[in-house]
């Protein structure tokens, strides 16, 4: 397992070590001990989520606030997504900055999105199955959010704007300046 830093503090790309032989391949998708050694972050995750989405779907930008804050370790099991993390920690040197990476089953990359970050992804393939671990439980009342097309964040979601498909909830989120995080 290799850890690559991103421009955002505490946010990492995780690249697995692949063992190939005549049968196919093997890799450790997650190893709590190695993850903690390499990142210095909490590797104890308590909830695993899966979502399936069609081309153009954009989920985000979401986080959980306060004592229900969640770090996420995210990957794509089928298709292709553009995954985005936004540093929403006001005391962070990278506050207000975003980072995006393509995740696919072929590149096998995972993104570690720390607590206090907003997270979202866009679907670039016909369908995509998205998988993520969370280090704190879902708590609906603690949801925070930023609208996907916020002018200050100016995120390039790699999708034509007229193809973007949002949930009812995600089409009415506050702006970055409104600070719902
Ligand atoms: C996130 C979540 C949702 N749900 C339920 C609530 C709702 O009825 C249904 C769909 O929820 P949402 O519309 O919020 O799902 P979705 O828009 O996919 O929300 C997710 O987006 C990505 C970007 C994230 O980062 C995640 O943390 C999460 O916020 O699933 C749970 O039961 N547990 C959960 O952990």
Domains along the chain with CATH numbers: 45-178 (2.60.120.10)
**Complex-level ipTM beyond the 0.90 threshold:** yes
Mutate to test the pocket of ligand 1, among 48, 59, 61, 85 (most ligand atoms within 8 A of CB): 59
Residues of the chain with pLDDT under 50: none
Residue 178, pLDDT score: 98
DSSP notation for 85-153: EEE--TTSTTTT-EEEEEE-TTT--EEEE-TTEEEEEEE-SSEEEEEEEESS---GGGEEE--TT-TTT
On whether the pTM is more than 0.90, the answer is yes
Is 26 touching ligand 1 by the criterion CB < 6 Å? Answer: no
């Amino acid at each position: 397992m290799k850890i690559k830093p991103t421009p955002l503090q505490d946010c990492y790309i995780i690249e697995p070590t692949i063992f190939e032989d005549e049968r196919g391949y093997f890799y450790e998708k997650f190893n709590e001990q190695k993850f903690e050694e390499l990142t210095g972050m909490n590797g104890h995750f308590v909830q695993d989520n899966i979502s399936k989405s069609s081309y153009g779907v954009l989920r985000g930008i979401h986080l959980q606030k306060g004592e229900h804050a969640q770090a996420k370790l995210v990957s794509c099991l089928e298709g292709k997504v553009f995954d985005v993390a936004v540093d929403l920690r006001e005391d962070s040197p990278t506050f207000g900055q975003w980072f995006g990476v393509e995740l696919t089953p072929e590149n096998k990359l995972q993104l570690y999105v720390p607590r206090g970050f907003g997270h979202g992804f866009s679907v670039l393939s016909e369908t995509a199955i998205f998988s993520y671990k969370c280090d704190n439980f879902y708590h609906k009342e603690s949801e925070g959010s930023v609208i996907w097309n916020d002018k200050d964040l100016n995120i390039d979601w790699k999708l034509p704007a007229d193809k973007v498909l949002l949930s009812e909830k995600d089409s009415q989120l506050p702006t970055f300046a409104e600070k719902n995080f």
